[in-house]
Amino acid sequence: MHASFNLAAELDAALMAAASAAGLVDAAEFAPDVRPADARHGDYQANGVLGHAKARKLNPRATAEKLVAALPAGLHDACAIMIAGPGFVNFTLKPAALLAWLRAHDTEDHLRAGAASAKHNQTWIVDYSSPNTAKQMHVGHLRSAVIGEAIARLLAFSGARVVRDNHIGDWGTQFGKLIWAYKRHLDAGALAQDPLEEFERLYKAGHHAAEAGPAVMDEARAELVKLQGGDAENLAIWRKINDVSLAAFQQIYDRFGIRFDVALGESFYNDKVGQIYRELSGCGLAVESDGALVVFHPEHPRFKQQPLMIRKRDGAANYASTDLATILYRAEHFHATGALYVVDKRQSDHFEQLFLTAQKWFAQSGRPVPQLQHVDFGTILGEDNRPLKTRSGENIKLKDLLAEAEERAFALVSGRSLDFPEAERRAIAAIVGVGSVQYADLSQNRSSDYVFAWDKMISLEGNTAAYLLYAIARIHSIFRKLAARPNDLAIEGAASALETPAELALARKLVKFPNALDTAVGQLRPHFLCLYLYELAGEFSAFYNADKVGVDDAGIRGRRLLLCARTLLILETGLRLLGLRTLTRM
Ligand code: ARG
């Protein structure tokens, strides 16, 4: 074996080659399906022999034996290979192979280089966060931002070119009422102090006035028509509202470490929807219905009756028209392989209809059909199992949520490290607080709802950010105490062969990082990486309790410090890929 990054993939390839060499029936169709095994069965298991043999009426065990015999000698040197049960092939890495992998994967760049084959030559648009302007970000905006950022980082690490696009809702009908109120009820002092609060107040004022009197409703509508017609005064107000909104959003993004490459909101596509109407009507996909332009999908059980509306009766564009224009723009401008829409699962009908429409339209117009995927997520619930709100039933603002997270993290940090200067405890709390909120979200299967529970998420116990950050801080402190540093070649060079059960168990977990990454990227589900990191930190604890690191024997000390260094590297890399910041003391 060559200590390649993903050992399971290497074994998979070796079995494929062996299949041809051994003259296996239909060797070209053989899929070895090598994956990490339950620790009792070694490190990796090939599950594919059984099915392949059965389907061709071959004896699975005999087939497995033939394959194993055809594997190159180097592989037999690197791992113990056993045939188990009816025809599984189990691989157990020998200590030298484990050590070779650990030595080779010494920096984040080397890990990245190993991972960067999966998405080579692909460009992915990640459409995430995407809030509507003129409102503050609230808890309903948390998941898209946090999950989207993690997915963007995971894809980039896997070698893709990633375009982070904030598809902000900056062109809604809300602007009619807002501009109406802005012109009449603006409080300049409040605007200077907290503009988004003021815009929200104005919007509510406009909304109530319009509800109360049809005359106001008409005036608000007229403001919207003026805006859409390019009226200079209304455009200036609109621009100001959007600028202020974006600046406020950026303050939240900064705390999550989010930087968008582009923020092409709905308004950007204003002048691009005409082409959509023309093309979709032209190829017969879109038809007029009650004055609106709609797309039916006759083969679909629901969308044959509920069409996708792409132009409203009053001629205005809507969510679907801009989304169609966006798909075309991304294909033409970014040459995107595909786009990932990190959006609440309640919008799944919209995306299903949108994607169906785009696929037919692209195919009919002879364009390569992009890969479009709705990366959905569930709702954040309160401890009463209902969507999380404040006591008075309002949406919880993200800035308040993050402030509370930091306060609670400060209490946690002060509880254990009261001897640290307050400024340092505050700095740690900022990382632990925000990280806990991110991690609590990411560690759940994104498609499920989850209960937001402060005490569980800001805790040193369980699968939490604080637990992992503490593990990282502890490894840093081991190095400090031994006056050593990670990647000291003199120390690591002296490392002798891994021996104790705890050393071997930790090494076996470390080499599986690529598989956790693969699963998380393949399914676009960061929780697989979270679970891996949590288990890795557990293995590290077991190792640290069982085996003393600071021993005199240079060989033993070297290999144990090597294990510490690689655990640190993978925990730090993993948390960074999830979007968290890490620390060296806690
Ligand atoms: N602004 C939308 C909302 O708040 C989300 C946009 C998602 N992205 C998209 N291309 N439709 O619900």
Q: Are residues 220 and 76 in the same domain?
A: no
Determine the residue of 343, 346, 351, 376 to mutate for testing ligand 1's pocket, defined as the one with the most ligand atoms within 8 A of the Cβ atom.
343
Distance between CA atoms of residues 273 and 249, nearest Å:
27
What average pLDDT does the chain have? 96
Beta-bridge partners for 126: 164, 340
Contact yes or no for 122/521 (Cβ under 8 A): no
> 321-342 pLDDT, tens per residue?
999 999 999 999 999 999 999 9
Q: Which residues of 158-180 are buried (b: 16+ CB within 10 A; e: fewer)?
A: bbbbbbbbbbbbbbbebbbbbbb
How far is ligand 1, taken at its centre, from the CA of residue 131, in Å?
A: 7
User: What's the average model confidence in pLDDT over 180-190?
Assistant: 96
Tell which of 348, 377, 406 closes a domain: 377
Among candidates 417, 440, 419, 439, which has minimal Cα distance to 429?
417
How far is ligand 1, taken at its centre, from the CA of residue 186, in Å?
A: 28
Q: What is the pLDDT of residue 52?
A: 96
Tell which of 322, 345, 377 closes a domain: 377
Ligand 1 environment, Cβ below 6 A: 127, 130-132, 167, 169, 323, 326, 341, 343
How far is ligand 1, taken at its centre, from the CA of residue 349, in Å?
A: 13
Q: Are residues 567 and 467 in the same domain?
A: yes
Q: Are residues 557 and 480 in the same domain?
A: yes
pLDDT-derived band at 6, boundaries 50, 70, 90: very high
Q: Are residues 480 and 410 in the same domain?
A: yes
Q: Is residue 315 part of a domain?
A: yes
Q: Quick one: which atom of ligand 1 is closest to the CA of 350?
A: 11
How far is ligand 1, taken at its centre, from the CA of residue 564, in Å?
A: 43
User: What's the average model confidence in pLDDT over 9-14?
Assistant: 96
Q: Write the burial class of residue 291 (CB in 10 Å: 0-12 exposed, 13-18 middle, 19+ buried).
A: exposed
Q: Is the pLDDT of residue 460 over 80?
A: yes
Contact yes or no for 182/146 (Cβ under 8 A): no
How far is ligand 1, taken at its centre, from the CA of residue 514, in Å?
A: 32
How far is ligand 1, taken at its centre, from the CA of residue 168, in Å?
A: 7
Q: Are residues 186 and 327 in the same domain?
A: no
- In the chain, the number of structural domains is 4
Q: Are residues 146 and 194 in the same domain?
A: no
> What CATH number is associated with residue 297?
3.40.50.620
> 69-84 pLDDT, tens per residue?
999 999 999 999 999 9
Contact yes or no for 333/163 (Cβ under 8 A): no
How far is ligand 1, taken at its centre, from the CA of residue 374, in Å?
A: 11
Q: Quick one: which atom of ligand 1 is closest to the CA of 341?
A: 8
Q: Quick one: which atom of ligand 1 is closest to the CA of 323?
A: 10
Which is more confident, 401 or 394?
401
Q: At 290, which amino acid appears?
A: D
Q: Is residue 392 part of a domain?
A: no
Q: Which domain holds residue 235?
A: 174-247
Determine the residue of 128, 130, 347 to mutate for testing ligand 1's pocket, defined as the one with the most ligand atoms within 8 A of the Cβ atom.
130
How far is ligand 1, taken at its centre, from the CA of residue 167, in Å?
A: 6
Q: Which residue lies with its CA nearest to atom 7 of ligand 1?
A: 130
Distance between CA atoms of residues 246 and 243, nearest Å:
5
Contact yes or no for 555/488 (Cβ under 8 A): no
Q: What is the pLDDT of residue 200?
A: 93
Q: What is the pLDDT of residue 517?
A: 97
> What CATH number is associated with residue 62?
3.30.1360.70
Among candidates 53, 17, 38, 41, which has minimal Cα distance to 91?
41
Contact yes or no for 549/523 (Cβ under 8 A): no
Q: Are residues 270 and 370 in the same domain?
A: yes
Q: Is the pLDDT of residue 503 over 90?
A: yes
Q: Which residue lies with its CA nearest to atom 5 of ligand 1?
A: 130
Q: Is residue 218 part of a domain?
A: yes
Q: At 419, which amino acid appears?
A: D
Q: Is the pLDDT of residue 218 over 80?
A: yes
Q: What is the pLDDT of residue 173?
A: 81
Q: At 586, which amino acid appears?
A: M
Q: What is the pLDDT of residue 302?
A: 96
Distance between CA atoms of residues 453 and 444, nearest Å:
13
Q: What is the pLDDT of residue 228?
A: 86
Distance between CA atoms of residues 396 and 401, nearest Å:
7
pLDDT-derived band at 475, boundaries 50, 70, 90: very high
Tell which of 192, 221, 247 closes a domain: 247
pLDDT-derived band at 140, boundaries 50, 70, 90: very high
> 339-385 pLDDT, tens per residue?
999 999 999 999 999 999 999 999 999 999 999 999 999 999 999 99
Q: Which residue lies with its CA nearest to atom 12 of ligand 1?
A: 131
Distances (CA, A) of 47 to 21, 82, 87, 188, 242: 19, 13, 8, 69, 54
Q: Quick one: which atom of ligand 1 is closest to the CA of 347?
A: 12
Q: Is the pLDDT of residue 39 over 90?
A: no
Q: Are residues 157 and 190 in the same domain?
A: no
Q: Is the pLDDT of residue 2 over 90?
A: no
User: What's the average model confidence in pLDDT over 275-291?
Assistant: 97
Q: Are residues 158 and 185 in the same domain?
A: no
CA torsion 508→513→515→516, rounded to 10°? 120
Beta-carbon contacts of residue 112 (< 8 Å; ≥ 6 apart): 157
Contact yes or no for 156/193 (Cβ under 8 A): no
Q: What is the pLDDT of residue 3?
A: 82
Q: Is the pLDDT of residue 1 over 80?
A: no
Distance between CA atoms of residues 275 and 281, nearest Å:
10
Distance between CA atoms of residues 372 and 148, nearest Å:
15
Q: Which residue lies with its CA nearest to atom 4 of ligand 1?
A: 131
Strands 292-295 and 308-311: antiparallel
Determine the residue of 139, 141, 165, 167 to mutate for testing ligand 1's pocket, defined as the one with the most ligand atoms within 8 A of the Cβ atom.
167
Q: Is residue 33 part of a domain?
A: yes
Contact yes or no for 174/241 (Cβ under 8 A): no
Q: Are residues 236 and 269 in the same domain?
A: no
Counted residue by residue, the chain has a size of: 586
pLDDT-derived band at 128, boundaries 50, 70, 90: very high
User: What's the average model confidence in pLDDT over 35-59?
Assistant: 94
Place of tokens 């409040």: 190
Q: Which residue lies with its CA nearest to atom 6 of ligand 1?
A: 130
Q: Is residue 1 part of a domain?
A: no
Q: What is the pLDDT of residue 506?
A: 98
Q: Quick one: which atom of ligand 1 is closest to the CA of 343?
A: 7
Q: Quick one: which atom of ligand 1 is closest to the CA of 326?
A: 10
Instruction: Specify the DSSP element, H or E, that contains 333.
Output: helix 319-334
Q: What is the pLDDT of residue 455?
A: 96
Q: Quick one: which atom of ligand 1 is closest to the CA of 319?
A: 11
Secondary structure of residue 447 in the 3-state scheme: coil
Q: Is residue 422 part of a domain?
A: yes
Q: Are residues 416 and 277 in the same domain?
A: no
Q: Is the pLDDT of residue 519 over 80?
A: yes
Residue 60 — left, alpha, or beta (φ > 0 → left; ψ -120 to 50 → alpha)?
alpha
pLDDT-derived band at 43, boundaries 50, 70, 90: very high
> 286-310 pLDDT, tens per residue?
999 999 999 999 999 999 999 999 9
Compute the chain's Rg from CA coordinates: 28
> 522-576 pLDDT, tens per residue?
999 999 999 999 999 999 999 999 999 999 999 999 999 999 999 999 999 999 9
Q: Which residue lies with its CA nearest to atom 3 of ligand 1?
A: 131
Q: Is the pLDDT of residue 217 over 90?
A: yes
Q: What is the pLDDT of residue 156?
A: 97
Say what the pTM is: 0.96
> What CATH number is associated with residue 537?
1.10.730.10
Q: Residue 268 — φ and ψ, nearest 5°?
A: -60, -25
Tokens of 570: 């993978």
How far is ligand 1, taken at its centre, from the CA of residue 283, in Å?
A: 27
Q: Quick one: which atom of ligand 1 is closest to the CA of 344?
A: 12
Q: Is the pLDDT of residue 45 over 80?
A: yes
How far is ligand 1, taken at its centre, from the CA of residue 327, in Å?
A: 13
Q: Are residues 72 and 131 in the same domain?
A: no
Q: What is the pLDDT of residue 306?
A: 96
DSSP label at residue 561: H
Q: What is the pLDDT of residue 540?
A: 98
Q: Is residue 582 part of a domain?
A: no
Q: Is residue 390 part of a domain?
A: no
